[in-house]
Amino acid sequence: MSVIPHLINGELVTENGRAVDVFNPSTGQAIHKLPLATRETIQSAIDAAKAAFPAWRNTPAAKRAQVMFRFKQLLEQNEARISQLISEEHGKTLEDAAGELKRGIENVEFACAAPEILKGEYSRNVGPNIDAWSDFQPLGVVAGITPFNFPAMVPLWMYPLAIVCGNCFILKPSERDPSSTLLIAQLLLEAGLPKGVLSVVHGDKTAVDALIEAPEVKALSFVGSTPIAEYIYSEGTKRGKRVQALGGAKNHAVLMPDADLDNAVSALMGAAYGSCGERCMAISVAVCVGDQVADALVAKLVPQIKALKIGAGTSCGLDMGPLVTGQARDKVSGYVEDGVAAGAKLVVDGRGLTVAGHEEGFFLGGCLFDNVTPEMRIYKEEIFGPVLCIVRVNSLEEAMQLINDHEYGNGTCIFTRDGEAARLFCDEIEVGMVGVNVPLPVPVAYHSFGGWKRSLFGDLHAYGPDGVRFYTRRKAITQRWPQRASHEASQFAFPSL
């Protein structure tokens, strides 16, 4: 069984000590050993980043962008190899893995615009012989902690932009599927990134706490569950760090009576069951306005859910692969049992699914609940699996109140032909990312990604313009060159025009 190394100061580093297995979820078999970094290992990555920072921050933005251009090309050239690694360790289909990588590459493309996005502001003659300007300066050593469900895309939300802004970055990816993340980082070094500017360290809470506690680390980016997001935000900010911590979600889709139901069903199938529901933007609740809409939706969904093509993610032509671990599969099955016990109607039961030739894989079929109510656990909590819950309401206002009352506010959407209803929904819904007839309203790379309420801890969203603000700090400079012939008396009042 191969050992997956750390990448520190441009070198692959292995260590003895604590380690975990990395599994192929389609077979249920361990395929790699992953060492868990000690605090000393984390500190070596921090030291390398700190040493690399002075030269990197003074590298012209255009030269940093050139590295990103080469990086983008290498990512595109290695798409098949990266997708294969994602699928082998996460379980998602090859097509889904390739789509994830493409969305990550969009963020590299945005980072290529470094000379433009880092331009400051300049004002001449703000006062007599006084000019003023501001610019964006890097923070120094920053770090990111990323989840298992997007091992390529989410790290690419973070370090390309942080690095192109002049920072040095330490990445701690998920220990469940680290191979693609490591390969992508190696491609960035191949593109010409200096040693020490990016390091990848594998680990668990020990590594996370080491990054939080290190005074050299000035900022932390995180994507994962809400309890951990809240922990990282609390522990990081009380140490004076800048933190953006993206947490959990419970995303609702509202179906109005005038919705194009066939298109809505197609959209919901992909949004609820794509990637086995292991997406923070997955639609897990369909809110139907009126029983007629709900009955028609159930009738259309059932045959499509039962017809889902499920198998090993590395096979072609599939809709879904397995869940990432056996524990994840069992947890989702437990939610299904809980929903039945609470009185929800289990219309489609995906439990007990086996895939020929992969009997030990972590598979679960698509599940559909009807008559779900807000007090049920399957409604309140993030399931993170292929489970869609249908809630019935009588009006758009009732649907919106349901969504606004929920503790999460990550993503939502409405299916309607009514512009007035859509505009009301967009204006009044208390959610960070909203779609109109778009089930997964993930912003493109030149906007920013983030939810509201307990889906985000911190003031700035991920990537895009907010990402630039997060990874830089503004410095304002006011400069005066008085004329040689003039002499002015001291001024004791606060200066003004």
Residues 350, 297 within the same domain: yes
Residues 262, 148 within the same domain: no
Q: Which residues contact 50 (CB under 8 A, 6 or more apart)?
A: 140, 141, 168, 216
Integer Cα distance of 439 and 272 in angstroms: 9
Does residue 495 register a pLDDT over 90? Answer: no
pLDDT recorded at residue 487 = 67
C-beta separation of 158 from 171 below 8 A: yes
Residues 343, 464 within the same domain: no
Residues 81, 209 within the same domain: yes
280 belongs to the catalytic site: yes
Domain count, the chain: 2
Residues 109, 218 within the same domain: yes
pLDDT recorded at residue 375 = 97
Residues 243, 259 within the same domain: no
Identify whether 6 is part of a domain. yes
pLDDT recorded at residue 342 = 97
Range of the domain at 231: 2-247+455-477
Does residue 497 register a pLDDT over 70? Answer: no
Identify whether 488 is part of a domain. no
Q: What per-residue string of b and e applies to 435-469 under the rule 16 or more CB within 10 Å gives b? A: beeebbbbeebeebbbbebbbbbbebbbbbebbbb
pLDDT recorded at residue 291 = 97
Residues 107, 185 within the same domain: yes
Q: Domain containing 128 — which CATH number?
A: 3.40.605.10
Query: How many other C-beta atoms lie within 10 A of the C-beta of residue 11?
Result: 12
Integer Cα distance of 127 and 81 in angstroms: 59
Does residue 492 register a pLDDT over 80? Answer: no
Integer Cα distance of 195 and 94 in angstroms: 32
pLDDT recorded at residue 229 = 97
C-beta separation of 371 from 390 below 8 A: yes
Confidence of residue 481 (pLDDT cuts 50, 70, 90): confident
Residues 297, 404 within the same domain: yes
Q: Which position has the token pair 């292991």?
A: 278
pLDDT, tens digit, for every residue of 134-190?
999 999 999 999 999 999 999 999 999 999 999 999 999 999 999 999 999 999 999
pTM: 0.94
Q: Which residues contact 9 (CB under 8 A, 6 or more apart)?
A: 44, 45, 48, 52, 195, 196, 199
Q: Given the residues 280, 288, 367, 389, select the one marked as catalytic.
A: 280
What average pLDDT does the chain have?
A: 96
SS3 254: strand
Integer Cα distance of 344 and 336 in angstroms: 10
Query: Which residues face 357 on adjacent strands?
Result: none
Q: What percent of the chain has pLDDT over 70?
A: 98
pLDDT recorded at residue 191 = 98
pLDDT, tens digit, for every residue of 78-112?
999 999 999 999 999 999 999 999 999 999 999 99
Confidence of residue 483 (pLDDT cuts 50, 70, 90): confident
pLDDT recorded at residue 66 = 98
pLDDT, tens digit, for every residue of 247-260?
999 999 999 999 99
Identify whether 449 is part of a domain. no
Tokens of 254: 């509202």
pLDDT recorded at residue 316 = 85
Tokens of 144: 């990111």
